[in-house]
């Protein structure tokens, strides 16, 4: 579990922007996409939620509160920036850092799911406004399915 948390941190070290979003792909030339893809940020946040829940459910994790707190802070960084992002017709933009990017369903859904899970996991660190933000997104997403 320590290695899993360390790997999450290494990804963060490579991908995190000044604002707190994660870039999509860091590389050379055409292999890179330094934009903050909302679906990629959703994968990162929700993936760390899954790691956190596994860690918390593991019998050997009693001494790993620091790792759990670290995961929570990394998830919070992403969610806080997503919550501050401008939307397009109520959806997070495909690229969170691009005002011209279109509203996108998958990233909105994943980041909202992460907000719900974390508000239940640690309501002190993820207070009611996370649930309210996710609820607004869920309502918008439900109109998209109609």
Give the H or E element holding residue 115.
Answer: helix 105-121
Low-confidence ranges of the chain (pLDDT < 50): none
Assess if CATH 3.40.50.720 describes domain 2-144: no
User: What pLDDT score does 20 carry?
Assistant: 87
DSSP readout, 58-94?
Answer: SGGGTT-HHHHHHHHHHHHHHHHHHHHS-EETTEEBS
User: What pLDDT score does 32 carry?
Assistant: 76
Q: Strand locations in 1-146, DSSP E?
A: 87-88, 91-92
User: What pLDDT score does 30 carry?
Assistant: 77
Beta-bridge mates of residue 37: 95
User: What pLDDT score does 145 carry?
Assistant: 67
Beta-bridge mates of residue 22: 16
Helix axes 38-57, 65-84, angle to 10 degrees: 150
User: What pLDDT score does 144 carry?
Assistant: 82
pLDDT in tens, 9-36: 999 999 999 888 999 888 777 777 778 9
Taking the C-alpha atoms of residue 85 and residue 49, their distance in angstroms, rounded to an integer, is 21
User: What pLDDT score does 146 carry?
Assistant: 59
Q: What is the DSSP letter of 30?
A: G
**pTM, full prediction:** 0.94
């Amino acid at each position: 579990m320590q290695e899993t948390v360390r790997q999450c941190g290494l990804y963060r070290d490579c991908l995190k922007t000044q604002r707190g979003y994660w870039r999509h792909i860091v590389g050379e030339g055409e292999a890179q996409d330094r934009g903050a893809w909302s679906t990629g940020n959703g994968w990162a946040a929700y993936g760390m939620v899954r790691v956190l829940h596994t860690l918390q459910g593991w019998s050997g994790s009693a001494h790993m509160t620091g790792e759990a707190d670290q995961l929570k802070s990394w998830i919070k960084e992403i969610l806080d920036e997503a919550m501050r992002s401008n939307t397009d017709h109520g959806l997070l933009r495909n690229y969170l850092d691009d005002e011209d990017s279109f509203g996108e369903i998958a990233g909105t859904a994943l980041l909202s799911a992460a907000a719900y899970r974390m508000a239940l996991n640690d309501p002190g660190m993820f207070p009611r406004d996370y649930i309210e933000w996710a609820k607004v997104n869920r309502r918008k997403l439900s109109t998209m399915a109609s």
